[in-house]
Every structure is written in C-alpha cells, then in structure tokens.
Amino acid sequence: MPARTICRCCTDLLDPDTAALIAAQIAEYKTYRDTIAGANASLLTLQAPYDGSGWDALQQLSDDGQTALIFAFKNDFSDGRLIVRPRGLIAETTYSVTSVDLGPLGDARGELLMQEGIELIQSSGSRAHILLLRAQ
C-alpha cells in the first residue's frame, strides 16, 4: 500500500494531462504484466555495443507460446532499421501484432514471423519499441 499512497500524493502535483498520460501508461502495462511475470526471456540481438546496429532487443514468451512481448531499444539517435525475429512461436498459429505506440500492425502466422521477422524503423521520437504478439 505505501507505493499506492505515494502515487496518489505525487499525482496531486501533476497537471491533469500528465496525470492522464501516466494513468494510460499504467493501464497499458496492466494488459501484459501477467505475460511478463510468467515469461521466458531471450535476447534477439547481441547486446550493444557488440551489435553494430546499435539495437538491443529482448523477447518475453509465455510458457504456452500464445503471447510474446518484444522490447527493442535503439542505443543512439541515428536513424535505423532492425528486423526482429521472434522465437518459440507456434508455427501454425496466427498472431496479431500490435505496437504499443503505433497500434495494430497486422496478423501473421508464427512460422512467417519467425522466418521473415518484423521490421522496426527508427527515424525520430522514442528510441524504444514494444511489440505485443497474441495468438488468435
């Protein structure tokens, strides 16, 4: 309970738009926190600075392979692209792919996602990308 009390005290100091934005981000996190709590994590790139692309990508996959989260971070401010290839998806299952920032990106079979990957483009704005893959 202390954390909840601290949050309530802090939100009194924020303007209403900022408080609403924080509340929306917390609500978004709650939609996939159960996946994170029970997921197996694996790196999808070499860790920077060893990866010449300047990207770090981590996947968290639920034990049943029905849900995956991909967190990708561009380590510098340069423009760039990265193709992330999820691992451990169910090949014959169709997954909906959603970007936390951009919304729905489309649907694809697990086999295609693992082979062809998902392209991330960094040109401006946040250098962090979060993808949610859910079996349909």
Give the domain ranges of the chain: 2-33, 38-135
User: Could you tell me the pTM of the whole model?
Assistant: 0.81
pLDDT at 3 over 60: no
At residue 70 the predicted structure's pLDDT band, cuts being 50, 70 and 90, is very high
Please state, for a pLDDT cut of 90, what percent of the chain lies above it.
46
Q: 65 is written with which tokens?
A: 């392979």
Beta bridge mates, 71: 58, 130
Burial 92-129 (b: 16+ CB within 10 A, else e): eeebebbebeeeeeeebebeebbeeebebebeeeebeb
- Per-residue pLDDT of 24-48, as tens digits, reads 888 888 888 888 888 889 999 877 6
Helix (H, G, I), strand (E, B) or coil at 115: helix
Nearest C-alpha neighbor of 79 from the set 27, 120, 122: 122
Q: What's the CATH number of domain 38-135, 3.90.550.10, 3.40.50.2300, 2.60.40.1180, 2.30.110.10?
A: 2.60.40.1180
At residue 15 the predicted structure's pLDDT band, cuts being 50, 70 and 90, is confident
Q: How far is 5 from 46, CA to CA, in rounded Å?
A: 40
Nearest C-alpha neighbor of 133 from the set 82, 76, 71: 71
- Per-residue pLDDT of 77-133, as tens digits, reads 778 888 999 999 999 999 999 998 889 999 999 999 999 999 998 877 778 899 999
